[in-house]
Structure 1
Amino acid sequence: METKHIICLLAVCLIIAIPLLFVKGEYEGADDMGTEAVEETGYHPWFHPIWEPPSGEIESLLFALQAAIGAIIIGYYVGYFKAKRELAQ
């Protein structure tokens, strides 16, 4: 591995580790905090979802499926352009 890859890997590890080391207490999701802040202002939504998942597990499954599809698409294009660049040389 090149030195720049090792440096980038260490930087990513530090970015992940530093908040975990210095932030004490429970970690709350930002979605919950944002929802609470908006509800305190008295805001009421203009519309409601057409369909809500019957459980949190299904909602998590759909979110993971969406992330996987996105990762597949991004991975395909990264691989495609990398192979195209290597073949051009």
Structure 2
Amino acid sequence: MKKHTNLILILIVIAMMVGAFIFGPKGGEYGGTDDAAESAITSIQKDYKPWFSPIYEPASGEIESLLFTLQGSIGAGIIFYVIGYHRGKNKGKDSQKD
């Protein structure tokens, strides 16, 4: 049963990925929330000036995406390492009780 469950889950994930490309906006670019927030603020208040400027401005959007993905991957790795560590630690305690 477990083998079939994994196969079904994999097929669902593939269908979701293909569906995002089929039913997604045509010819549209993916934009970040920072850009959307800035355009929303400037539409409300025309003379808005940001409080801060970036410390490092990447040369291109691809590098910015790479850094964002790298940051998320490192964070996810740390979170899942801590979860696995505590889970293994608890399993070790349970096996010592037996």
Instruction: Please report the TM-score for the alignment, with normalisation by the length of structure 1.
Output: 0.63
> How many Å separate the matches in 1 of 2:81 and 2:24?
37
Taking the aligned partners of 2:78 and 2:67, their CA distance within structure 1 comes to 17
Per-residue deviation, 1:13: 2.0
- Change in CA separation of 1:72 and 1:24 when aligned onto 2, cut-off 3 Å: closer
Instruction: Tell me which amino acid in the other structure corresponds to 2:7.
Output: I
Does residue 72 (structure 1) correspond to residue 77 (structure 2)? The answer is yes
RMSD, aligned α-carbons: 3.1
Alignment partners' CA distance in 2, 1:23 and 1:63:
22
SS at match of 1:83: helix
The separation in 1 between residues aligned to 2:72 and 2:27, in whole angstroms, is 26
Unaligned runs of 5+ in 2: none
Structure 1: gaps spanning 5 or more residues:
none
Alignment of 1:4-83 (within 5 A): 4-23=5-24, 25-31=26-32, 34=36, 35-42=38-45, 44-49=48-53, 51-56=55-60, 59-83=64-88
How far did 1:45 drift?
A: 4.1
Normalising to structure 2: TM-score of the pair? 0.59
Q: How many residues align?
A: 89
1:38-89 superposed Cα distances (whole Å, 9 cap, x missing partner): 4333352451225232523654453233123202202212321332343324
